[in-house]
Every structure is written in structure tokens, then in C-alpha cells.
Amino acid sequence: MIGIDWYLALSAVLFIIGVIGVLIRRNAIVILMCVELMLNSVNISLIAFASHHGDITGQVLVFFVLAVAAAEAVIGLAIILAIFRNNLSIDITKVNLLRW
Amino acid sequence: MDYLYDLNTFIPATIAAAAGLVVLMQSVYKVKINTIFGVTVFSLVVALLFALRDLFGPVGTSFYDMVAYGGTAAFGTLLVITGTLFCVLISRDYLEAIDHHYGEVYAMILFATTGMVGLAVSNDLIMLFVGLETMSICLYVLAGLIKEEKTGAESALKYFLLGAFSTGFLLYGIALIYGATGSTNYADITALTDISPLFMAGSALLLVGFFFKISAVPFHMWTPDVYQGTPTTLTAYFATASKAATFVALILVMSRMMPEIEGVGWTQAISVIAIITMILGNLIALVQDNVKRMLAYSSIAHAGYLLVGLAAGTADGYTGVLYYLFAYTVMNIGAFGVIAFYERNQALDFTDVNNYAGLGYKQPVMAVLLSVFLFSLAGIPPFVGFLAKYYVFAAAVNAGHITLAVVGVLTTAASVYYYLRVMVFMYFREPHKEFDLVNPGAIFKYALIVLCVLTVYYGVEPVFPMGSLIELLTSYYTETGPAGMAGP
Amino acid sequence: MATYAFVLLAVLAVASALAMVLNKNTVNSALFLVLNLMSVAGLYLLLHAQFLAIIQILVYAGAIMVLFLFVIMLLNVDEEESLFDKFRAIYLVAFLLGVVVFGQIVYSLGGVTDLLPEISADMAYVGTVEAVGEVLYTTYLMPFEMTAILLTAAVVGALMIAQYKVKTSDQEE
């Protein structure tokens, strides 16, 4: 039987892949997918902790995270659509009108 | 559990949510926009009355310990509802001028308010997360309201990507805290006696998520861009109501969730963040020519002052932060409101400070109002901004954080320059060309005058109906406040 | 048996996540994310979270990813010229940040490995639809209702942003 720590390590690895993806990619859609990956990796941690504690709270939180992730995806894609209409590109390095 | 009793403790947010749904249906059936505006204002006034009632009501938790009521939570609700009400009042004419005045905007504002209240009263990490996200989703939409222009869509994209990114960190923090303690409830977590590295890592990530939302310095990059690209009256909403809700939630987390063990309060880390936030926010604000960006950096600086009170970590500190949030809400909405008024005039680009030359003598009432709000933001004595800063810095000194107070006072002195600069342009420079300003409109004008009266009134004599406001806030942390917060 | 399943699913999840980040083609990235979500759903099953495993596939891998693919096809920008055309300082920052956060997490996990050995025995009764549904409508009623507002706001908001020209209510009259 695999211990909880392996699930947690897997979750940390996936989270870091997501973070690095957000920071290095330039395509807004891929960045959004990396954010989804981050949320998803946290879900693994939550469910692993819930299993460890024999408690349902973690699973309920995962349920809410799924709802939030869906909402974020919808809003994010709508914003990307609006950006595309203005710029004909979803490359975030070309979205730089506002600079201090 | 008695549902009706519990609902009674959460009534301002319930009203906001119901009004949001009503407004949404009204805009589907093409009801006149002024009716929609009226419904929004009416519901917010009713919610405000209930929030005022709760201010003096009992303290406790409801909905199976999910939300807190009374005390700090009630004051947070009041701040959010007040901020929303005034932002809505100044929004109508402005949104009409920029041709983005439709019912869905009010629905989104009301839904965001529901989320903010949920965030400000949360007593459980799950409630915190859901409230924060409800607020954020609506704010992303409002940031992208002027989607036809590049700046609008761009500010929405930046806000969204960084907001979603920070949500990931916040959520990971919640997951680790849950793993370390087996619960998401503040009361269970604070009862902890043994602190594991897991808990420390979790609370650190949670704080990082919070710092993103309140735009403390290493995590502030999105703020100026978003504030510039968003319609000005909604920028006021972002800068005040959402910041107030997040700070109240942060106070609840710090005072009710963190176990009372040495080193768990993160005082050192928050102090460092506060110092660099105050210094950088004020320094960059000095060189801004765009008024909205200047106010964005000033709002970053104000987040620094608020963190000073939080770093103090005493009852005094939390009281000071709450008072500061009230002052900040009032004066900042006022300042953004007057700028929104100038922007309604298409004659010149009134986001550029150079075009404020000579404005002091056209519509003198508006110019005086802006001067009062800017003086107050700068922390000059007869106004509420001064008292707020005084309470926060005094708390820091009493808690032994002399450095924080010294940096705070010095950066405040520096900040006077960029606030006064606007006034110098308004009163002592000749205008570049001739133009006439539009009529501000009655609702708009009286909303700003009420804000101005509040700014002066609480600065001169901080008397609240039924006792002084600061005494009321202090009482939350002495008699009926959270456990273990035995303050002076 | 469970060990083999875990190793298989974990390798699949990490590999597909890496493939998603490193792939130039956006459609391929999205499909790798679907693979990742499916293998994570498998992990949920190993942890006895049956309800969430099904929801994960229905909502995430199903609905959300279809939406992603739909937008990618609609925008028709599936190729990024080059992923690493020039070295940018952000890569270094990203790498350092990743290492720091990872190190911190592994360190904090290292301190508790002894405390977290096995899956609790009660787990078989916890992850069912019945158990999750019951607490959703009692203990977590408030966040659940708040989620209703969240989803309504998301749907309306997405329309507000994505619609090309919104008519004001008064224009109709």
C-alpha cells in the first residue's frame, strides 16, 4: 500500500510544473491550462489529506474547487476571446499597452 | 440549527444576492436602466441598515460555524456595503458617459458584494475560499467592462491571470493547513498546541495569496495596470470595498485562526512586507503623471500602512486597521469620484495631471471636494486620514515596532508631495485651452458631499451614533471579542 | 496491486503535465491536460474518493476541456512559433521560484512523513455520493449557496465579456 506522502509529493511536483508553465509560456490559453493544472494538483493533496484524516472536509473543498475552476475557465476564455478580437493574438508578450 | 435565525445573521449579503438576481432578470426583460439603478440603490440602503443593526448586535457564529456575525465581521459587512453603495451612486453618470451603462453591471456589482461579505465574515477556510472567488470572478468581469478598447481587455487579462495564479497559492496553503490540522474551521485550528512545518508552510502560502489580493509589494505588479484600464468608478470599488473585505478576512485569520504560539503570527514577515510596501508604493507614486496610476500606487502604499497595524498584532492594531479601512473607503471613493467627474468631460484627457491646470476655478465645489479627499489621503490633520494613521502607528509603537512607525511617518511625509501636486496644478497653473465642464448631476454631487462630510466629521470629532467609533471597535476585542484577545 | 496502479498513474500524470507545458501545439497541450486529469481521477479512486473521481471526469475532463478545445479551434491560433526563442530573465525567475517552493514543500513534508503513514480505514464510507451530499446540504450549506451565486455570476460575466456589442436596455425603446 502506498503511503500518503507519495500522493503529496506527486501533488507538489504537478503544482510546480503548473507554476513554471504559467511563468514561461506566452500563449494565454496554455497559461490558463497551467492554472487549471495547479488547482488540480492541490486537489490531489486535499483528497490525500482527507483520506489520511478519515474526514470528508477535504473532499468537500475539492468539490468547491471544481466549481471555482469551471467558473475561472469560463471567465478566462471569455477574456481571451475579447483580447483576441482586439489584438488578433493571444501572445501575452504582445499585450503590453499599459506600462509604468 | 434554526435556519431563520442563521439567515438573520447573514441578511445584508442575502439582500445583495437577491437584489443581484432581480436586477439580472430586469435587464433580461429590458426594464429601464434608471429603475434598475433605483432597485440597486434601494437594496443596498436596506442592506446598510441591517449592517448598522448588526454592528451593535450579538457576536457568534452561524451556519454550522461557517460564518461569524457581530463584532469585526459586522464592521466588515458595513464597510463593504457602504463602499458598494457609494460606488454605485457615483457610477451611473460616469458609465453613461462612457456608454457602458447596462443592468448587468449592477448585477455583477451586487454579486461581487455578496462574495465580499462572505469573505469578510468567513469563519472557515472553505467559506473564505468560496467568498474570495465569488468576489474575484465578478471583479475580473468588471475590469474587462470596456472590452472594445485594448486597455480594458488587457487590464482584465492581467487581473485574471495573476488573480487565478494567486488563487492557486492560496488554495495550496489551505490544503496544507488542512493536512496539518485535520480541519478547516478557525476555532479548531487555533486550538492547536503543536505546530508542524506543514502548518507553517501552509500559512505562509495562505499569506502569499492574501498579499496578492491586497497588492502588497512583491505581489503588486497587477495593481496599476488594472486600476488604469478599469472604468474609474469601478476602480474605486476595487480599491475600497474589495480591499476592505480582504483585510477584514485577514484580520479574522490572524486573530482567530493562527494558534497562539510564539512565532506563528508571522509578525516579522508582515513587518518586512509592510516596510517595502510603504516605501516602494510611495516612491513610484511620486513620478506618476497619470492620476489613476498615481492613486493605484497610493493604494499600494495604503496597503502598507494597513499592514503596519496588522503586524502590531494587538487589539489596538486590529482596531486601528478597521478604523483605517473605514477612513480609506470614504476618502478614496471620494477622490476617484471627482476624477471620474472630470473624465466625463471629453474636452481633454483628464487622467493626465497636466490637464488639471486651472480646474480649481471651474466647478469650484468639485475642486474643493477633491482637495479635501487628497488632504485626507495624505494624512493631514483635520481629516479622517490623519486619525486613521495615528491609530495604526500608535498601535505599532505600543507593540514595540518603532521602525515600522518611523518608516510609516517618513513615507507619509513623502506622499504629501504627489497629493499636493494635483492641487498645485488645479489652483496655480493656467489652463492650456478653454473648455467648459459638464454639470456633475445631483445624485453624484450629493454622494460626494456626504463622503466629504464623513471625511471631515470623523477627522474632527470621532463620535459615532451611540458612542465613539473607535470605542465601539475596541469593545470587539475586549468584552465579546475573539478568545484570547484581552486588549486594553 | 494498488502500488503498481499508483506508480503507473503518477508517471502518467507527471509525463502528461510536462508534455502539456512543453508542447508547441495548443491543441496537443489541451489533449495532454485531458490525459493528466484522467490519471488524476484514477488516483482519486485509489484514495476512495469515488464521487469526486466521477465528477473530475464529467466536469473537468469533459465539460471544461471541451470548452478549451472549442475556443482554441475558434481562435485558430494553434501554433506558437517557438517556445524558447530567446532566453528571458523570467525563465530564471520561474526556475528559481519553482525550486524554492518545491524545496520548502518537500522540507515541510519531510517533517511529517512519520505522521502520515497510511490511508485511514474509515475512508471506504467517506467518499460516497451519499456522504458528500449529506454534508453539502448541512454543514457546508453556506459555501454551497455561495457557489450558486459564483456560477451565475460566471455565466453572466462570460456573456458580458464575450458578446461583441451589448445593447443598453434603453436603446430598445
List of domains in chain A = 4-94 (1.10.287.3510)
Q: Which three cell numbers stand for residue B87?
A: 460606488
Q: CB distance A8–C44 less than 8 Å?
A: no
The residue that leads in pLDDT, B194 or B316, is: B316
Please name the residues in contact with B364: beta carbons below 8 A apart, sequence gap of 6 or more.
none
Question: What residues pair up with B261 in beta bridges, in sequence order?
Answer: none
Question: What is the value of ipTM here, to two decimals?
Answer: 0.94
Give the H or E element holding residue B124: none
Report chain A residues whose CB lies below 8 A from the CB of B154: 83, 86, 95, 97-98
Q: Give CA–CA dist C82/C66, Å, rounded.
A: 25
User: What rounded mean pLDDT belongs to chain B?
Assistant: 88
Contact B366, B336 (CB under 8 A): no
Domain locations in chain B as residue ranges: 1-260, 266-488
Which of these, B82, B29, B32, lies nearest to B52 by C-alpha position?
B82
Q: Which three cell numbers stand for residue B17?
A: 444576492
The model's confidence at residue B332, banded by pLDDT at 50, 70 and 90, is very high
At B134 the pLDDT is 95
Q: Does C150 touch chain B (CB under 8 A)?
A: yes
Contact B129, B171 (CB under 8 A): yes
pLDDT surpassing 80 at residue B179 = yes
Options 3.40.50.300, 3.40.47.10, 3.90.580.10, 1.20.120.1200; CATH of C2-127:
1.20.120.1200
Q: CB distance A45–B137 less than 8 Å?
A: no
Which of these, B295, B287, B300, B286, lies nearest to B233 by C-alpha position?
B295
At B466 the pLDDT is 44
pLDDT surpassing 60 at residue B14 = yes
Ramachandran bin of C52, using left for φ above 0, alpha for ψ from -120 to 50, beta for the remaining angles? alpha
At C132 the pLDDT is 86
pLDDT surpassing 90 at residue B485 = no
The pLDDT tens digits for B116-147 are 999 999 999 999 999 999 999 999 999 998 88
Facing A58 at nearest CB: one of B137, B151, B178? B178
The model's confidence at residue B1, banded by pLDDT at 50, 70 and 90, is low
Q: Give CA–CA dist B369/A86, Å, rounded.
A: 37
Q: Which three cell numbers stand for residue B27?
A: 435587464
The residue that leads in pLDDT, B152 or B170, is: B170
Report chain A residues whose CB lies below 8 A from the CB of C20: 21, 30, 33-34, 37
Q: Say which amino acid occupies B17.
A: A
What is the rounded average pLDDT of the residues B394-410?
A: 91
Residue by residue, pLDDT tens for chain C (173 residues) are: 778 888 899 999 999 999 999 888 889 999 999 999 999 999 998 888 888 999 999 988 888 999 999 988 888 765 665 555 455 666 677 777 777 777 766 666 655 544 444 565 566 667 788 888 888 888 999 999 999 999 999 999 999 998 866 554 444 43
B349-368 residues labelled b (16+ CB within 10 A) or e (exposed): ebbebebbbbbbeebeebbe
At C173 the pLDDT is 38
Contact A73, C64 (CB under 8 A): yes
pLDDT surpassing 90 at residue A35 = yes
CA angle B148, B150, B152 (to 5 degrees): 75
Q: Give CA–CA dist B301/B293, Å, rounded.
A: 12
Global pTM reads 0.92
The model's confidence at residue B467, banded by pLDDT at 50, 70 and 90, is low
The model's confidence at residue A83, banded by pLDDT at 50, 70 and 90, is confident
Q: CB distance B102–C169 less than 8 Å?
A: yes
Percent of chain B with pLDDT over 90: 54
Chains that touch C (3 or more CB pairs under 8 A): A, B
Q: Give CA–CA dist B326/B454, Å, rounded.
A: 10
Report chain B residues whose CB lies below 8 A from the CB of C149: 17, 20, 111, 114-115, 134
The pLDDT tens digits for B297-331 are 999 999 999 999 998 888 888 989 999 999 999 99
Ramachandran bin of B64, using left for φ above 0, alpha for ψ from -120 to 50, beta for the remaining angles? left
Task: Write the DSSP symbol of residue B185.
Answer: B
Contact B363, B342 (CB under 8 A): no
pLDDT surpassing 90 at residue B353 = no
Q: CB distance B150–A76 less than 8 Å?
A: no
Q: Give CA–CA dist B64/B275, Å, rounded.
A: 39
Q: Does B133 touch chain A (CB under 8 A)?
A: yes
Q: Give CA–CA dist B278/C138, Å, rounded.
A: 44
pLDDT surpassing 50 at residue B178 = yes
pLDDT surpassing 80 at residue B241 = yes
Shortest CA distance from C141: residue in chain B: B63
C-alpha distance across the termini of chain B, in Å: 35
Domain locations in chain C as residue ranges: 2-127, 128-165
At B488 the pLDDT is 27
Please name the residues in contact with A17: beta carbons below 8 A apart, sequence gap of 6 or more.
A34, A37, C14, C17, C18, C21
The pLDDT tens digits for A22-33 are 888 888 899 999
CA of B163 vs chain A CAs: smallest distance (Å): 10
Tell me if residue B68 falls in helix, strand or coil.
strand
CA of A35 vs chain B CAs: smallest distance (Å): 6
At B38 the pLDDT is 94
What is the rounded average pLDDT of the residues B416-441?
A: 84
Q: CB distance C161–A43 less than 8 Å?
A: no
CA of C168 vs chain A CAs: smallest distance (Å): 19
